[in-house]
Amino acid sequence: MNLLNPANRWLRLKRRDGSVSPGSVYDAADPEVVDVLAPRADFRGALYQLLIGLMQTAAAPGNLNDWLGYWNTPPSAAELETWLTPLRPAFELTGDIAFMQDRDAKLEGNAKSTAELLIDTGSDSNLFFNKLADWQGLCESCAAQALFTLQINAPSGGVGHRTSLRGGGPLTTLTLVQPSDSDASLWHKLWLNVLPLDGEDAAWRAESPLSAKLPWLAATRVSDKSGVETLPEDVHPLQAYWSMPRRIRLDVDDVAGGVCEVCGETHDALYRQYRTRNYGVNYTGPWQHPLTPYLFDAKDPSKPPLSAKGGRAAGGYRHWLSLTLGENDNEKTARVVRDFNRKGGKADKLKLRGEARLWCFGYQMDNMKAEAWRDATLPLFRLESGDERHFVEAARQLLDVARQSALMLGDQVKKARRMDKKEPAVEQSFWQRSEELFYQAVARLAESEQLDEAGQAQAFSAWLPPLRRLVLELFDYWVLCAPIEQMDMAGTVRARADLQRGLWRAKPHKIMGERIARYQGEGDEAVAR
């Protein structure tokens, strides 16, 4: 199977009328197609990255105006085929050159079940199963998706089995349009995450052989004692989309008909095994994948940045600022997010006002063990003032109040219920219940034409008083729901009083309350005390 052959309809595509049908990559520009589906959540995230990678590799726009042209008028299937034809020989699933597989067609190594291509195989909290019995194999489509998903997310796998270019379990963040995404075409969802070349450094525009972008076209850069590491300057930057740390070859001699273990459909050919060996490509140095946020060492700027991990998608709004704009100088949002947010960038060109979302997903890993798949969407805001510095400052103050509130709530419930340790569900309930309040306050900041202290105070005044009430309400709930034998009325009264004082006197609350009082008059001053 060739993934870029128009005759191979290996994708499942959702259409605007709600129907789902097979399709090829060339249907991605059909305005009636609104989504690509997959039998597993990690496969769906990988398919989005594969399709974005194809567009970035084959048809990257020269500048924002070129990008806007294809946003307004998507390419036809014929034009898309013209773009992708040069890449087609590299996307055969089997053969001398095989998609996402080692260049050595006769790779000698350990034989493993294709079940091991699934990152969560054998984990306690995997997506579909824990115990394998009578494994039949993977169909061509699922095998291709499994290969790509593993290579771009590869966790630690033992001695010499390299992690992905972004490390194990990276977080991916994609910009999307429409709150429900029900009206946006698949093309718009993909194209919004393609970067114009004029915003990148010269290496992106350099003339390089395709093998510098698609690593399976060249001999593997082996990383054993006599091998080499792979730095960003050793290959083309586009290899970030196609990184291939694992040496793998599907076993084409062990194929049989049956029911695919992932999609559940009957196929004439299922791949049951693959061969693998260690010391594949070892991506080191200051790599920065365009779809992933990074953390930098403030004390040692020479250290390579660390990619954000998939577990951050489970944090709710506590990570909103760091993922959308960067909460401090040590954090950098994904390149695709910066391209969206920058002054005169995509958000400005499209005049998006609350219709955009940030899709965050990835595995939460404990070394080679998959603990959970995390998937969330966060709102993106276009700033009326254009004053990003003061917007970030104000949003950070909202988060400081939220974090302190969650901490105090957990502490005082623990004291009131005489618990040995804090109950995580208490603080989690705060983050869930306060989320709507937070985004309402952020929306006020985004809509403000001037983000001076007075403008910020208006958003703060709609945030702080109801937040205080919510914290006390949650305290009452968690204490009153405790078994009667855990009740200590005197201790409960003291804990609630301590919590109430903290909601007025804790440093972030006090500063915000004083700001509100200063700019909102005596009425609000009484509330802020």
Taking the chain (529 residues) in consecutive chunks of 10 residues, what is each chunk's mean pLDDT? 97 95 96 96 98 97 96 95 97 97 94 94 55 82 98 89 94 83 83 94 92 97 95 97 97 95 95 96 96 93 93 92 92 95 88 82 91 94 89 96 98 91 94 96 92 91 96 94 75 94 97 90 45
Q: What tokens does 125 get?
A: 């909290």
Residue 144 placed within a domain? yes
Encode 291-312: b = buried (16+ Cβ within 10 Å), e = exposed. Answer: bbbbebeeeeeeeebebbbbbb
Residue-wise pLDDT for 505-517, tens only, equals 999 999 999 999 9
Residue 6 placed within a domain? no
Amino acid at site 475: F
Q: Could you tell me where the beta strands, DSSP code E, fall in 308-355?
A: 331-332
> 292 and 420: one domain?
no
pLDDT of residue 182: 55
Q: List, as own/partner pairs, every contact residues 487-496 make where C-beta atoms lie below 8 angstroms and the sequence separation is at least 24, other chains included.
A: 488/416, 488/418, 491/415, 491/416, 491/418, 492/416, 494/415, 495/412, 495/413, 495/415, 495/416, 496/412, 496/416, 496/472
The CA distance from 168 to 307, in Å, is 9
Judged by DSSP in three states, 375 sits in strand
> 229 and 343: one domain?
no
- Kindly write down the DSSP assignment for every residue of 163-190, as one continuous string: PPTT-SSB-EEEEEESSS-SSS-HHHHH
Please say whether the dihedral angle defined by the alpha carbons of residues 276, 281, 287 and 291, taken in this order, is positive or negative: negative
Nearest to 277 by CA among 103, 121, 111: 111
- Of the residues 263, 289, 310, the one at which a domain ends: 310
Nearest to 3 by CA among 28, 20, 21: 28
Residue 5 placed within a domain? no
Q: What tokens does 395 get?
A: 């949003």
Nearest to 520 by CA among 465, 449, 440: 465
Judged by DSSP in three states, 323 sits in helix
> 315 and 300: one domain?
no
Residue 51 placed within a domain? yes
Burial class (CB in 10 A: 0-12, 13-18, 19+), 250: buried
> 434 and 333: one domain?
yes
H-state helical runs in 101-225: 140-153, 186-191, 202-205
Judged by DSSP in three states, 379 sits in strand
Could you tell me which residues come within 8 angstroms of residue 19 by beta carbon, excluding any fewer than 6 positions away?
A: none
Could you tell me which residues come within 8 angstroms of residue 43 by beta carbon, excluding any fewer than 6 positions away?
A: 142, 145, 146, 149, 262
pLDDT of residue 524: 44
Number of independent structural domains in the chain: 2
The CA distance from 41 to 223, in Å, is 31
> 293 and 184: one domain?
yes
Residue 465 placed within a domain? yes
Residue 446 placed within a domain? yes
> 108 and 122: one domain?
yes
> 340 and 260: one domain?
no
Answering whether pTM is above 0.75, one says yes
> 56 and 192: one domain?
yes
pLDDT of residue 123: 58
> 299 and 326: one domain?
no
Residue 296 placed within a domain? yes
Q: Using an 8 Å Cβ cutoff, are 52 and 291 in contact? A: yes
The CA distance from 116 to 159, in Å, is 16
- Kindly write down the DSSP assignment for every residue of 430-463, as one continuous string: HHHHTHHHHHHHHHHHHH-S--SHHHHHHHHHTT
Q: Which helix (H) or strand (E) holds 11?
A: strand 11-15
The CA distance from 9 to 26, in Å, is 9
Structural domain boundaries, residue 506: 311-528
pLDDT of residue 178: 66
pLDDT of residue 383: 87
Helix, strand, coil content of the chain in percent (nearest 5): 45, 15, 40
The CA distance from 429 to 443, in Å, is 22
> 77 and 159: one domain?
yes
> 259 and 347: one domain?
no
> 246 and 320: one domain?
no
Residue-wise pLDDT for 480-529, tens only, equals 887 776 678 888 999 999 999 999 999 999 999 999 998 876 444 444 44
Residue 1 placed within a domain? no
- Of the residues 310, 341, 364, the one at which a domain ends: 310
- Of the residues 276, 293, 310, the one at which a domain ends: 310
